[in-house]
Amino acid sequence: MDIVYIRELEIRTIIGIYDWEREQQQIVSLDLEMGSDIAKAAATDTIENALDYKAVAKRLINFIENSEFYLVETMAEQVTEIVLKEFNVPWVKLRLGKPGAVTGSKDVGVIIERGSKPA
């Protein structure tokens, strides 16, 4: 299986459990790896046969900008569900980070994999 990826997609949203976090947007950062067979896209050289990473990014930006989650875990589950269901992806790995959330660290967050990744 091939992998189509998006790195360091930064989106502003309401995220967090503290009162101040519910009042101002923060940045979340996404790295996505999505299983895809790129052979047909490569052979035809057309976007219709490719996993359109721009369409994926636009969908996730819209979803996250309009969300108000308390936990990155919940956001991560819903993001992977969108990718799997709406973009016909059999497997996705997501790193969802919340930069600056912990003093002294560059980033904190979760890494999850969902779907079936062929051997």
Q: Please say if 98 is a catalytic residue.
A: yes
Catalytic residue among 40, 93, 98, 106: 98
**Bigger pLDDT: 74 or 105?**
74
Question: 26-84, pLDDT tens digit by residue?
Answer: 999 999 999 999 999 999 999 999 999 999 999 999 999 999 999 999 999 999 999 99
- Indicate the burial class of 99 (C-beta count within 10 angstroms; 0-12, 13-18, 19 or more): middle
Architecture of domain 2-115: 2-Layer Sandwich (3.30)
- The ranges assigned to domains in the chain are 2-115
* Sheet containing 2-15, strands listed edge to edge, beginning at the edge strand earlier in sequence: 68-69, 2-15, 26-36, 91-97, 109-115
Query: What pTM value is reported for the model?
Result: 0.93
| β-pairing verdict for 26-36 and 2-15 | antiparallel
**Rounded to an integer, what distance in angstroms lies between the CA atom of residue 55 and that of residue 46?**
15
Average pLDDT over the chain, rounded to an integer: 95
